[in-house]
Amino acid sequence: MKQDKSRGWLVKYRGNFTHQQVANMAGISRSYYTEIESGLKNPSVTTAKKIAMVLGFDWTLFFKDDGCETHQNTNSKLCATGTEGGLNYNMPPERKRKICPVLQAYMIANTV
């Protein structure tokens, strides 16, 4: 039986963006992004950083088994899937809307 490796936490960060929109902003193909989100492929560090910058989370979440990160100073676990310990780690939709044009301009300006 095939093990489910999908990254549900990444779907939550993607919010209302389509796979194509995220891929365009990150400078990767839509099919590659889809494979990353579904867990069929793991991104390189460079690609993980690009996607994380676009969606507003710590890129190291790609390399954690549960999509959560533990902060040493508080020993709190912050998860992309919601809140834990009273801390919300999700980027608000209004922030995504504000940052999207900036990220698009950055990606276009840095395309060779």
Domains and CATH numbers, the chain: 8-109 (1.10.260.40)
Rounded Cα gap, residues 61 and 102, in angstroms: 23
User: For tokens 């560090």, what's the residue?
Assistant: 45
Q: Look up the pTM and report it.
A: 0.59
What is the tens place of the pLDDT at every residue in 60-77? 888 876 555 444 444 444
Confidence of residue 36 (pLDDT cuts 50, 70, 90): very high
Class of residue 37 by CB neighbours under 10 A (exposed 0-12, middle 13-18, buried 19+)? buried
